[in-house]
């Protein structure tokens, strides 16, 4: 590739400082390399860049027309990669020349750099690279020993404390410099300009214009005062929202401190866990599947290691890692893994080469800081929808007002309402329609939610996502660690036909030391495994538990609060490490087997592993359901491979591994007997029996062979793998790393018990009352899964236990040539036989919106409409779907049946009220989530493993566990820091409370703030009556009386029935819907408006002015018909009447406040004075509103400037009576809604 073509695609960038002034969005384009230029072929590997887009800075079009968001970090990565490659290519040419000169002078053949294929390995002669400065970034190229030496490290023991201290002084700590927080000034300015404040600025402008020049020659000082008041209101609102936003940001930022990143590192010869921020260059770290890479590292060793670097490169395909340098480009070589990359498979060991801001992510971050946008969530869209409604309503009212004036009043009643008066009325329309308290209420309620989540130890990535819990209808949950404690205990060892050793299970109280110590299984003083008092099968069982086990001791910092899966404290006699700093890490079953060998058998597992070294392994995965290890058995010294024995041990679920057995060991004999169908049925029956009691069963198999036989097996495997892909034999057998696939000997089984969390059964019942279905998705045997489901109330007595449990039985019918599915009840009654269809409807994956014929140069109006729809409607939301009619039975489905299920079968399974998926893999969990979503359910799914990430992403709400992998936490919307299922139910309750309180704010603000203040303006224009409410009093009512009371409303506690209602329907449930508008305007608003007008007209009548002298008088008020009052007296009467109208509205809104506190529950069961529902801020709000009313009407300054008057007490009494009637009316309405939930009144309830 010509260098000029590459330079055209690069921005101004230097590898040294990584601080480009301009970063532009580029569309993806591939730079092809000429085959005739082998010297630059290395540049063709993922070399792409994006040209500047004039359409948008954040989006690009895919081939199918859909919009794809491109990460800023990916662009920076590609820019850096291209620039560095160009730099290294130039140096490589220079280096090749130097190498040739060196080889000629030393009579050595130069080593070539292979670069003609993308997968080739760079073979560098390490002895020829004498000047390391030839490469600016060389840690991936130079020999590993030199990297270790550079950082004064040691591959075996890691860094010493002294070196760590020196490196901290030199390199600092492994943390990124936080991106510059948003300017507080800019945040405040945004609050001044966005949302409803932007509309109020328009009203403010017209208020000043109505003073001058429109008010001349006799400008009204009250217009100027209105403008000043509106400015004060805008700044006060912005200041409050700004304060709450900053407060909420601080609370959310504190979540990250609740769960620091943990790294496994070698120091001073010991392996330990510590906070990843403590890492320094030279640390030797262990990399495991599911974790995040803690720093930029060079690999020392790796076993089937794959990392996902999409956060940097934008490429979703995982990278296969090696320990060899495969590219001169530091960022392309596969022996380098980068900070924040996710380990999706395998394990490895690496040395840290860069930390903190020196990592690639840290340097990319500097290039992309401050260019992000805000996330648009459902809550934001609801507020936007309401804003559009308010703006449209205000515009329609203003247009109607001006049309009335222009077409009639200005002609027939000239001088009644002037242009300036109409401007003032328009300002009133704007102010009265805007619920000024709603934005403040939203920010305040999010802050309150943040505090609650913080106390409940629930970490949410965005507070606005909490409102989505209001719609959750299905929770697909794991069993281990979520419903159970993830503290497995071995309860029995089983072998042969009758061999059995039961292990007593102690309570937590007994485990603390009050019970007698059980004798060890094999002696008390660590005897050899050749003890004569136990059978050979039992000895092999325990040996297998030692060798086929990945649990390991690990030291941790005293302040490390991480809660890893399967972690357990371990008693140890090691004097070098305190027992309090030792823990077991690994899978929960491995930890249980480790504790069995360590505590019950008094065995030193580390010594056993050392004497019988492992030479090969196949880790457990959710698909195979087993683990295999190969160990060299302890032998006398010999050089003959035929005399060295290799023990291959297989551990897994009996129903998955029995088919691999050809023999078994009997009860108390050393010989092996051929496997028979009778014995296989006996094992399966035993597993079923244990499973029905909630026990998990693990089978242990073994196979012995000579070292020579093993080597031949591995050699044949390597030969088959080296064949071209089209020549390899296609087989359903999984890749076992060359280990034997069959001819194993069945040794025995372990039964394990993982007790349920004590709080889970009540939480499940609470979810059931909330009309939320719980679907258990577990990898356990169906009988074990069903037993646990009964224990935690997923299978209830009324439905699944008494009624019955359904299952699927799928078989191939060769006579008809199709697969048949039998819908079974209680395993013995066939409800229906269904021929499985090979066609299923397509499923849309979350986050992908497919459109057609979308063009960059679209109509400007179409683009504006699309922009508005994006902010008002979720682009990923599916159309309305009729939910399935539920079947009052439970169902158990195995993972093996899922791949055969068609749409009809999914409809039948998912229509059950109680559902358990057993032997399900994480990949099948994704399918389950997608099928639920396809049927209109809003799904929350839990997950803790790496393979759970797709399901967590696909679900409407992904809930990761703190004890899970970093990959799962990255994919989830929230993390349960206490791994507690009941926290999900609490989050759902919080989501419903958030939605309820915002609706209560709206139902309170709309009747008085809009309806009762707009009607007086139209009555003044259409009916010709004096204006019942002055603009000043309308503004005071909106921005002081109503706002404070609405803020008190967001502190409301949950109603008693909040978890008894069905979930909200996402597409149909909105913050402000037609039912709420009908209730707010036509019912509450009409009553309040009628009451205020009644008080207003009663006062006029008491002053001797009858109604016929008020209505339709227009400009002739006081003269035609004549009124025996002077103009000054009429003005005082009008001002007093306006004050009475204002006070009446205040009183009615106080009663509305008490009524709106509950949607369905009676006020007396949810009173604000005492009990669980106590909310004293309501009382404070009422007192404040009363004080404002007294000050506005009684203080002389307000009387003279804003034309208010004191209000006689007798004219307030009707408002008190009507307010009490309103309160009683609403209590009766709620009672009828509760008594008759299917009535028309209940369906109209907001």
Q: Provide the percentage of residues in the chain whose pLDDT is more than 90.
A: 26
How confident is the model at residue 1136, as a pLDDT? 95
Residue pair 377/973 in contact (Cβ under 8 Å)? The answer is no
Residue pair 969/949 in contact (Cβ under 8 Å)? The answer is no
In this predicted model, what pLDDT tens digit does every residue of 338-362 receive, in sequence order? 988 888 888 899 999 999 888 887 8
pLDDT at 375 over 70: no
Per-residue CA distances from 361 to 311, 317, 330, 570, 1029 (Å)? 9, 19, 13, 37, 61
User: Cβ contacts of residue 923 below 8 Å, gap of 6+?
Assistant: 622, 623, 947, 950
User: Cβ contacts of residue 524 below 8 Å, gap of 6+?
Assistant: 602
Task: Average the pLDDT over 1145-1152 and give the result.
Answer: 94
Span of 41-45, 249-253, 917-921 with lowest mean pLDDT: 41-45
pLDDT at 484 over 90: no
DSSP 649: E
Radius of gyration of the chain (CA): 37
Strand ranges in 798-894 using DSSP code E only, listed in sequence order: 805-813, 818-825, 829-835, 887-894
Per-residue CA distances from 644 to 55, 213, 640 (Å)? 70, 105, 7
pLDDT at 788 over 70: yes
User: Cβ contacts of residue 1037 below 8 Å, gap of 6+?
Assistant: 1008, 1009, 1013, 1142, 1145, 1146
Residue predicted with more confidence, 560 or 27 = 560
Instruction: Give the integer Cα–Cα distance in Å for 1043 and 1040.
Output: 5
pLDDT at 168 over 80: yes
Taking alpha carbons only, the member of 1172, 1174, 1154 closest to residue 1227 is: 1154
CA-CA-CA-CA torsion for 450, 451, 452, 458, nearest 10 degrees?
Answer: 60
Tell the residue number behind the tokens 């490469």, with chain if given.
135
How confident is the model at residue 869, as a pLDDT? 67
The mean pLDDT value of the chain amounts to: 78
pLDDT at 1130 over 50: yes
Span of 308-312, 679-683, 814-818, 952-956 with lowest mean pLDDT: 814-818
Tell the residue number behind the tokens 């009313």, with chain if given.
1189
User: Which string of DSSP letters, residue by residue, matches 702-753?
Assistant: EEEEEHHHHHHHHHHHHHHHHS-GGGSPP-SS---TT---S-EEEEEEEEEE
Task: Average the pLDDT over 965-986 and give the result.
Answer: 84
Q: What does the block give as tokens for 1023?
A: 């009916």
DSSP 176: P
Residue predicted with more confidence, 965 or 710 = 710
SS3 call for 296: strand
Instruction: Give the integer Cα–Cα distance in Å for 1041 and 1007.
Output: 13
Taking alpha carbons only, the member of 1012, 1004, 1010 closest to residue 1029 is: 1012
How confident is the model at residue 420, as a pLDDT? 84
Residue 85 confidence class, pLDDT cut points 50, 70, 90: low
Tell the residue number behind the tokens 């403010």, with chain if given.
204
Instruction: Give the integer Cα–Cα distance in Å for 1033 and 1013.
Output: 10
Residue 164 confidence class, pLDDT cut points 50, 70, 90: very high
pLDDT at 1183 over 90: yes
How confident is the model at residue 467, as a pLDDT? 75
Q: Is 580 exposed, middle or buried (0-12, 13-18, 19+ CB in 10 A)?
A: exposed
Instruction: Give the integer Cα–Cα distance in Å for 546 and 603.
Output: 9
Cα torsion angle, 461, 462, 465, 466, sign: positive
Taking alpha carbons only, the member of 642, 620, 640, 638 closest to residue 629 is: 620
Span of 467-481, 530-544, 546-560, 1015-1029 with lowest mean pLDDT: 546-560
User: Which string of DSSP letters, residue by residue, matches 1078-1133?
Assistant: IIIIIIIIHHHHHHHHHHHHHHHHHTT--GGGTTT-GGGTTBTTB-SS-HHHHHHH
How confident is the model at residue 867, as a pLDDT? 64
Residue pair 933/795 in contact (Cβ under 8 Å)? The answer is no
Q: What does the block give as tokens for 481?
A: 């660690």
Q: Nearest-5° angle of CA 432, CA 435, CA 437?
A: 130
Span of 377-391, 629-643, 843-857, 914-928 with lowest mean pLDDT: 843-857
**How many Cα atoms are found within 13 Å in the side-chain-facing hemisphere of 571?**
10
Per-residue CA distances from 888 to 141, 773, 789, 802, 805 (Å)? 65, 12, 16, 11, 10
Residue pair 672/620 in contact (Cβ under 8 Å)? The answer is no
How confident is the model at residue 386, as a pLDDT? 84
DSSP 464: G
User: Which string of DSSP letters, residue by residue, matches 321-367?
Assistant: P-SS---SSTTT-TTEE-TT-EEEEEEEEEEEEE-GGGSHHHHHHHH
State the alpha helices, DSSP H only, in 485-563. Answer: 508-509, 536-547
Instruction: Give the integer Cα–Cα distance in Å for 333 and 322.
Output: 9
DSSP 756: B
Residue 932 confidence class, pLDDT cut points 50, 70, 90: very high
Q: Can you list the domains of the chain with their CATH numbers?
A: 3-171+261-368 (2.70.150.10), 185-248+377-457+986-1244 (1.20.1110.10), 474-482+756-840+886-977 (3.40.50.1000), 489-554+589-723+737-751 (3.40.1110.10)
User: Cβ contacts of residue 576 below 8 Å, gap of 6+?
Assistant: 270
pLDDT at 461 over 50: yes
How confident is the model at residue 120, as a pLDDT? 34
Task: Average the pLDDT over 727-736 and give the result.
Answer: 64
User: Cβ contacts of residue 216 below 8 Å, gap of 6+?
Assistant: none
User: Cβ contacts of residue 1183 below 8 Å, gap of 6+?
Assistant: none
Cα torsion angle, 859, 860, 861, 864, sign: positive
Instruction: Give the integer Cα–Cα distance in Å for 838 and 777.
Output: 25
Residue 242 confidence class, pLDDT cut points 50, 70, 90: confident
Per-residue CA distances from 29 to 9, 81, 637 (Å)? 10, 15, 62
How confident is the model at residue 841, as a pLDDT? 53
Residue pair 484/756 in contact (Cβ under 8 Å)? The answer is yes
Residue pair 672/745 in contact (Cβ under 8 Å)? The answer is yes
pLDDT at 835 over 60: yes
Residue 725 confidence class, pLDDT cut points 50, 70, 90: low
Q: What does the block give as tokens for 415?
A: 């001088």
SS3 call for 1045: helix
Instruction: Give the integer Cα–Cα distance in Å for 1141 and 1204.
Output: 11
Cα torsion angle, 31, 32, 34, 39, sign: positive
How confident is the model at residue 37, as a pLDDT? 35
Taking alpha carbons only, the member of 585, 550, 568, 579 closest to residue 487 is: 568
End-to-end CA distance of the chain: 67
Segment 586-589 long-range contacts (CB within 8 Å, at least 24 positions apart): 586/549, 586/550, 586/551, 586/552, 587/550, 587/551, 587/620, 588/480, 588/481, 588/486, 588/487, 588/488, 588/754, 589/488, 589/696, 589/698, 589/752
How confident is the model at residue 1228, as a pLDDT? 95
Span of 52-66, 185-199, 625-639, 1108-1122 with lowest mean pLDDT: 52-66
How confident is the model at residue 936, as a pLDDT? 86
Task: Average the pLDDT over 218-236 and give the result.
Answer: 83
């Amino acid at each position: 590739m010509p260098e000029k073509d590459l330079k055209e695609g690069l921005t101004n960038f230097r590898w040294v400082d990584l601080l480009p002034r301009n970063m532009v969005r580029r569309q993806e384009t591939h730079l092809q390399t000429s085959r005739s230029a082998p010297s630059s072929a290395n540049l063709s590997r993922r070399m792409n860049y994006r040209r500047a887009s004039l359409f948008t800075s954040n989006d690009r079009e895919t081939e199918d027309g859909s919009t794809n968001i491109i990460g800023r970090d990916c662009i920076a990565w590609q820019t850096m990669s291209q620039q560095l490659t160009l730099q290294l290519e130039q140096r490589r040419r220079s280096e090749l020349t130097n190498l040739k000169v060196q080889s000629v002078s030393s009579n050595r053949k130069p080593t070539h750099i292979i670069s003609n294929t993308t997968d080739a390995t760079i073979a560098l002669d390490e002895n020829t690279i004498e000047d390391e400065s030839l490469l600016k970034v060389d840690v991936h190229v130079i020999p590993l020993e030199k990297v270790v030496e550079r950082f004064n490290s040691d591959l075996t023991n890691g860094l010493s404390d002294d070196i760590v201290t020196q490196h901290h002084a030199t390199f600092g700590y492994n943390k990124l410099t936080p991106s510059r927080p948003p300017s507080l000034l800019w945040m405040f300015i945004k609050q001044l300009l966005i949302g409803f404040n932007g509309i109020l600025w328009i009203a403010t402008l017209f208020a000043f214009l109505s003073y001058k020049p429109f008010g001349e020659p006799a400008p009204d000082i009250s217009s100027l005062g209105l403008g000043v008041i509106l400015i004060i209101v805008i700044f006060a609102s912005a200041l409050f929202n700004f304060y709450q936003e900053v407060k909420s940001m601080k609370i959310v930022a504190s979540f990250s401190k609740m769960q620091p990143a943990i790294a496994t590192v070698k120091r001073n010869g010991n392996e330990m866990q510590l906070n990843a921020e403590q890492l320094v260059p030279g640390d030797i770290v262990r990399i495991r599947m599911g974790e995040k890479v803690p720093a930029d590292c060079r690999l020392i060793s790796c076993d089937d290691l794959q990392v996902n670097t999409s956060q940097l490169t934008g490429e979703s395909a995982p990278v296969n890692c090696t320990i060899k340098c495969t590219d001169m480009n530091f960022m392309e070589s596969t022996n380098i893994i980068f900070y924040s990359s996710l380990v999706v498979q395998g394990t490895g060991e690496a040395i840290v080469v860069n930390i903190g801001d020196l990592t690639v992510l840290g340097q990319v971050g500097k290039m992309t800081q401050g260019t992000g946008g805000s996330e648009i969530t459902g809550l934001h869209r609801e507020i936007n929808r309401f804003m559009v409604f308010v703006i449209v309503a205000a515009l329609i009212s203003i247009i109607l007002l001006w049309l009335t004036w222009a077409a009639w009043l200005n002609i027939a009643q000239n001088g009644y309402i002037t242009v300036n008066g109409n401007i003032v009325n328009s300002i009133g329309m704007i102010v009265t329609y805007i619920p000024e308290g709603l934005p403040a209420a939203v920010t305040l309620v999010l802050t309150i939610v943040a505090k609650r989540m913080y106390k409940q130890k629930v970490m949410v990535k965005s507070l606005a996502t909490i409102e989505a819990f209001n719609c959750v209808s299905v929770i697909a949950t794991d069993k281990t660690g979520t419903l159970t404690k993830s503290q497995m205990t071995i309860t029995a060892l089983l072998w042969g036909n009758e061999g059995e050793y039961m292990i007593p299970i102690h309570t937590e109280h007994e485990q603390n030391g009050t019970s007698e110590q059980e004798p060890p299984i094999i002696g008390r003083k660590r005897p050899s495994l050749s003890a004569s008092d136990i059978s050979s099968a039992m000895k092999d069982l325990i040996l297998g538990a030692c060798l086929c086990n990945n649990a390991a001791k690990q030291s941790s910092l005293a302040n490390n609060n991480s809660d890893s899966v399967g972690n357990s404290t371990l008693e140890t006699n090691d004097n070098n490490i305190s027992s309090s700093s030792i823990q077991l890490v690994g899978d929960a079953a491995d930890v249980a087997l480790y504790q069995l060998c360590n505590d019950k058998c008094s065995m030193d597992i580390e010594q056993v592993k050392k004497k019988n070294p492992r030479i090969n392994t196949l880790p457990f995965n959710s698909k195979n359901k087993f683990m295999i290890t190969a160990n060299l058995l302890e032998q006398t010294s010999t050089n003959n491979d035929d005399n060295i024995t290799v023990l291959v041990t297989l551990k897994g679920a009996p129903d998955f591994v029995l088919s691999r057995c050809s023999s078994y060991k009997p009860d108390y004999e050393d010989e092996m007997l051929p496997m028979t169908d009778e014995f296989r049925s006996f094992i399966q029956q035993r597993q079923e029996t244990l499973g029905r009691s909630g026990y998990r069963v693990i089978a242990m198999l073994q196979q012995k062979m000579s070292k020579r036989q093993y080597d031949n097996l591995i050699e044949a495997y390597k030969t088959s793998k080296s064949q071209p892909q089209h020549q390899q034999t296609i087989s359903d057998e999984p890749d076992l790393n060359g280990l034997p696939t069959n001819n194993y000997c069945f040794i025995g089984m372990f039964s394990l018990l993982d007790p349920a969390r004590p709080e889970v059964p009540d939480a499940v019942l609470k979810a059931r009352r909330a009309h939320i279905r719980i679907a258990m998705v577990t990898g356990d045997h169906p009988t074990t899964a069903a037993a646990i489901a009964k224990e935690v109330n997923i299978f209830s007595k009324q439905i699944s236990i008494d009624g019955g449990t359904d299952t699927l039985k799928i078989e191939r019918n060769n006579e008809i040539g199709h697969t048949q599915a039998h819908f079974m009840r209680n395993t013995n009654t066939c409800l229906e036989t269904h021929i499985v269809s090979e066609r299923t409807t397509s499923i849309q994956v979350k986050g992908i919106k497919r459109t057609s014929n979308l063009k960059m140069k679209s109509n400007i109006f179409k683009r504006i409409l699309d922009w508005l729809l994006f902010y008002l409607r979720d682009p990923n939301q599916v159309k309305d779907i009729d939910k399935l009619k539920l079947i009052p039975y439970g169902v158990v489905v195995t993972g093996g049946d899922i791949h055969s299920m068609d749409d009809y079968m999914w409809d039948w399974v998912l229509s059950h009220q109680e559902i358990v998926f057993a032997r399900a893999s994480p990949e099948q969990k994704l399918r389950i989530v997608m099928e639920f979503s396809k049927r209109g359910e809003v799904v929350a799914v839990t997950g803790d493993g790496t393979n759970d990430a797709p399901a967590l992403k696909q679900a409407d709400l992904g809930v990761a566990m703190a004890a899970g992998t970093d990959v799962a936490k990255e994919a989830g919307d929230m993390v349960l820091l206490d791994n507690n299922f009941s926290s999900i139910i609490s989050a759902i309750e919080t989501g419903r409370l958030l939605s309820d309180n915002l609706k209560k704010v709206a139902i309170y603000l709309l009747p008085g703030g809009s309806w009762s203040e707009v009607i007086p303006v139209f009555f003044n224009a259409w009916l010709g009556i004096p204006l019942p409410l002055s603009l000043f009093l309308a503004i005071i009512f909106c921005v002081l009386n109503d706002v404070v009371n609405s803020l008190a409303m967001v502190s409301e506690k949950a109603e008693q029935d909040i978890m008894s209602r069905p979930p909200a329907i996402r597409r149909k449930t909105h913050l402000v819907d037609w039912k709420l508008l009908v209730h707010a305007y036509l019912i509450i608003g009409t009553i309040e408006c009628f009451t205020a007008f009644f008080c207003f007209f009663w006062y006029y009548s008491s002053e001797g002015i009858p109604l016929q002298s008020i209505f339709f008088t227009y400009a002739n008020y006081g003269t035609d018909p004549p009124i025996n009052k002077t103009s000054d007296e009429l003005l005082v009467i009008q001002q007093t009447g306006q004050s009475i109208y204002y006070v009446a509205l205040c009183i009615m809104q106080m009663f509305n406040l008490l009524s709106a506190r509950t949607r369905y529950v009676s006020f007396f069961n949810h009173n604000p004075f005492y009990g669980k529902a106590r909310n004293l801020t309501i009382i404070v709000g009422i007192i404040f509103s009363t004080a404002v009313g007294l000050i506005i009407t009684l203080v002389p300054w307000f009387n003279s400037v804003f034309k208010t008057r004191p209000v006689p007490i007798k004219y307030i009494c009707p408002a008190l009576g009507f307010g009490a009637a309103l309160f009683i009316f609403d209590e009766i309405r709620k009672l009828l809604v509760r008594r008759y939930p299917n009535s028309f009144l209940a369906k109209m309830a907001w």
